[in-house]
Structure 1
């Protein structure tokens, strides 16, 4: 089990790296420009229109398929799957038809600041990318099917060929001066993902045969399971919609700057938080099922400190060295000084909320383990309202950075609400230990972040950007590790003990 989780984590990291390379390619050839803004809006629209529903469907599919196969056998399970796909195909056809007729008004909703060339390019690309909805729905269902069949690696790997196709489409579109290639590349990338999933699903015994029954009881029951997830996902997408439509009004390239900055933070969260939440979730789920609240509280407390141990120093580094980091990652090709400044601004303010993003994932999964999906959904809705209000207030004062700051503040507020609600639900769980540990970690992080900042500015005078950033980062990491070691934080001590045990075995 542990080996499977580690392999899956490694694949996830590689997949996220390929996604980051895709954004670096886009920034290199198109920078933060009218074209990059239009392209990003064109691939956001299909996600919001149908991606929300697809997320809910795929989440509800596994428990429903499991029950059907256990009670009636695999043949009945495949019939349910085929009926689900066919019904969603019909729904997609109606959705796509409407989107093709009303493409321009839809783009105006997502990017109200677009006009002229921006609007025309976004409309053109959206009319192509919207076709990808057909593939997205089958991808979500077959990914869930393969996960149920314990073939976890394939759904995790499909991001690699998709990003490879997207990177090639961006390069060819620039070289041939045909923006339309990026839209075609997006749909092609989804089709490649679908082919891979179909191949491995076929090997696991799946066969598609047309079936259409809207009165199917299993279909209705699955929709009941999917509704909370759909509502929760819609909150995130509404936030994204408001962010991007306001960014389109503030400045050309604003949408791209938000996207590039957000990509870096998501990569950090994916690497640092996924490792803890992946291991923690099944463990506390078993404890919750057995009624072992003391063990659950202890593991949640350790996990909160563990996430803080990794996220807070990353936050400090991002805040002190936002501009050098963005310059190192994106500062080449068409990504000029104005784009670096705008993206650095967004990255700085997004980084403030990193701890909120990380702990929200952890706390939400704790509620899920307690079979409570309502509380995270309500908290997310409250955070969404706060985010929208802050967007309008802060965007006037800070511009693009204000949108990122609004997201960070609403995420921190949402996390605090989740923490308070969890305490009410399961009682006090080592609050003093958590508080003291986080204070120690925050102090060590702030100090090492400042050291990294000072070292960078000393080194940049005698070395290039890359070497100065690398050396200052390594220096700060070593110093942070030493400080944490002498602070005697339990979560860090457990990690050190684990490393020592592995070394002694070898």
Structure 2
């Protein structure tokens, strides 16, 4: 097999990824709106940091308890049940959903009770506000889990659209929350001591309402694919021992990863408490969201399209096909992520003020967000490669190897974090943390390639490397051209947003055109495939 079973299959992956990417683009754009509105409502200082910290808690704990397990274990098991069971995996899926609902319910109640302990462990000041917000936002743990299970069920039944579009509902609710907050309480500077109970209720309750609406938005799609929920408590049929063995290593993986999340929160809260000009969790989170926008639009769409295919190939013992899918995923991701990296570096300090420089989020805070974003962009491609490799292991299914690989990766990450905290001035700590992320992803990608080569055989590294070199050259050429173009453009963002828009349109346009021209001149097949797909769609 030369290319993921066939040219037709390869095209199918491109088409599936493109369909999901459209939904993800809209989702990420509304996500920008969500972040910008919340930033305008509460700013990027003490209240914004408290909100960002409280928002991290349910995500962090959900991932620790079940997030990675659902992603890595559930999809391959549902694919196998759908192939092997007489009822196409219907009863198996119902048992799994029942078990997850029970586990999430118990875990959510316990964690909510521990909200004060979480706030004290990870914050130096404003622990009371973080605690109050956490009481309202920690129930999101339950709904995160339910949303992940429903999305997995839909994906294994070939329905990718709803899971990509449902988060838009979440974003719209939170945008409404931010607008309601400003309408009710005014667009005036607030400090933690002035946050009243109604303010906290609107902010925390509205955020949780968003994920509830997201779950409700998935239910019509479940009916359309013919899945009917029925609670089944005969869990022995799930072969829990096998699931536990797979999940045990995944739990190790996630637990190790959360060490770095805890370190980030603790360091950011420490430096922002000691130096008001230093970036705290709010600014770091906004920069991270910008980076993950590109990753979500591209790599997540490709991973979601490839995961069922890789799982099926692994179940049938077609290791060469798994390797080919992995190679294809890396190369397709690079088509967008490498120029996106250049865009973040060149345009980051223009993009962030345009998105976040409103209301209580000051211009200086927005510029700092852009500087952190520029550094974060360097992590895009190594992060995508390491994620694709991880999902290739999961497809086999192998959760042990990623868990063991994660230990040196996170150790490297936390080591750079600590060096950053010890050596850099407070105003540069957030950038240093992003460097730590990038270094750890490079380590993970290198080790993952070595071990996958042993498991799958040749990975097509020559072709991958050749494509990455060509696309890097093209992205660098586009970035330099964009930078030169912006030197002659107006850049007075303090007085208004018009100059920023001009810079983004012209700079981004120059980058894209030069990148595509150079990539085509270098005969980069992946770019010509994507261009051909777009031409076909436009022609149709």
Give the structure-1-normalised TM-score: 0.86
Contact 1:320 1:449 in 2 (8 A): yes
Contact 1:135 1:190 in 2 (8 A): yes
1:312 counterpart = 2:338: yes
SS in 2 for 1:399: helix
Among residues 107, 114, 118, which one is paired with 1:92 in the alignment? Answer: 107
Contact 2:48 2:282 in 1 (8 A): yes
SS in 2 for 1:176: helix
1:169 counterpart = 2:177: yes
1:352 counterpart = 2:374: no
Correspondence list, 1:400-439, <5 A:
400-439=430-469
CA distance in 2, matches of 1:278, 1:208: 26
Number of the residue aligned with 1:451: 481
Number of the residue aligned with 1:362: 388
Number of the residue aligned with 2:213: 192
Q: Deviation digits for residues 310-354 of structure 1, max 9, x if unmatched? A: 222221221123211212222222221331232123212211211
Number of the residue aligned with 2:149: 141
Number of the residue aligned with 1:389: 415
1:441 counterpart = 2:453: no
1:183 counterpart = 2:204: yes
Number of the residue aligned with 1:126: 134
Distance 1:471 1:289, change over 3 A: same
Number of the residue aligned with 1:15: 27
CA distance in 1, matches of 2:18, 2:302: 11
SS in 2 for 1:106: helix
CA distance in 2, matches of 1:413, 1:172: 45
Distance 1:257 1:422, change over 3 A: same
**Could you list the runs of 5+ residues in structure 2 that have no partner in the other structure?**
1-11, 186-198, 493-497
State the shift of 1:431 in Å: 3.9
CA distance in 2, matches of 1:296, 1:216: 29
State the shift of 1:267 in Å: 0.7
Say which is worse superposed, 463-472 or 33-42, in terms of deviation. 463-472
CA distance in 1, matches of 2:117, 2:326: 46
CA distance in 1, matches of 2:503, 2:296: 26
Correspondence list, 1:284-303, <5 A:
297=323, 300-303=326-329
Q: Deviation digits for residues 334-390 of structure 1, max 9, x if unmatched? A: 221331232123212211211111211222233334433322222222211111111
1:80 counterpart = 2:95: yes
State the shift of 1:200 in Å: 5.4
1:266 counterpart = 2:292: yes
Contact 1:265 1:354 in 2 (8 A): yes
CA distance in 2, matches of 1:123, 1:337: 29
CA distance in 2, matches of 1:371, 1:75: 21
CA distance in 1, matches of 2:474, 2:88: 56
State the shift of 1:88 in Å: 1.7
Distance 1:179 1:457, change over 3 A: farther
SS in 1 for 2:85: helix
Contact 1:367 1:376 in 2 (8 A): yes
1:477 counterpart = 2:500: no
Q: Deviation digits for residues 250-293 of structure 1, max 9, x if unmatched? A: 11551011100011111111223245444554555555556656
Say which is worse superposed, 318-327 or 418-427, in terms of deviation. 418-427
Say which is worse superposed, 324-333 or 66-75, in terms of deviation. 66-75
Number of the residue aligned with 1:112: 123
CA distance in 1, matches of 2:466, 2:154: 43
Contact 2:17 2:302 in 1 (8 A): no
Contact 1:83 1:213 in 2 (8 A): no
Among residues 230, 254, 265, which one is paired with 2:251 in the alignment? Answer: 230
Distance 1:85 1:420, change over 3 A: closer
CA distance in 2, matches of 1:293, 1:138: 32
State the shift of 1:470 in Å: 0.9
Among residues 344, 364, 380, which one is paired with 1:338 in the alignment? Answer: 364
State the shift of 1:182 in Å: 1.0
1:206 counterpart = 2:228: yes
RMSD: 3.3
CA distance in 2, matches of 1:393, 1:498: 46
Q: Deviation digits for residues 75-118 of structure 1, max 9, x if unmatched? A: 8547624641563255236514xx42x43221122x333x1xx2
State the shift of 1:131 in Å: 2.9
1:467 counterpart = 2:493: no
Distance 1:486 1:261, change over 3 A: same
Distance 1:269 1:223, change over 3 A: same
Q: How many residues align?
A: 497
Give the structure-2-normalised TM-score: 0.81
1:325 counterpart = 2:351: yes
CA distance in 1, matches of 2:331, 2:100: 43
Distance 1:71 1:418, change over 3 A: same
**Could you list the runs of 5+ residues in structure 1 that have no partner in the other structure?**
none
SS in 1 for 2:398: coil
Contact 1:146 1:201 in 2 (8 A): yes
